Amino acid sequence: MEKALKACPFCGGKAELKQAHYLESELPYSYVHCMNNECALHHNTAHFSGESEQKNAQNAVTAWNQREQIPVPH
Ligand SMILES: [Zn+2]
């Protein structure tokens, strides 16, 4: 299911898929972030939720690889 992740568009670092649950609703969500903890995309990345965990993960991977919904640092 998971595709290989492209390198971070900001720092060129390795990216990683994470899965978690919202505290309030316990809904699962997925996101891809940069593993470089000094990079803007380490903490600040889009969440994907509302579907199965597998679909959320797939959406997060696809968006990351297409460079969509990646926040721009200010
Ligand atoms: Zn990065």
pLDDT, tens digit, 9 for 90 and up, residues 5-50: 999 999 999 999 999 999 999 999 999 999 999 999 998 899 999 9
Q: What is the pTM of this model?
A: 0.84
Ion ligand 1: residues, CB within 5 A, are 8, 10-11, 13, 34, 36, 39, 41
How far apart CA 30 and CA 39 sit, in angstroms, is 19
Q: What is the pLDDT of residue 2?
A: 56
- From the CA of 1, how far away is ligand 1's center (Å)? 24
Comparison of pLDDT for 69 and 32, the residue scoring more: 32
- From the CA of 33, how far away is ligand 1's center (Å)? 8
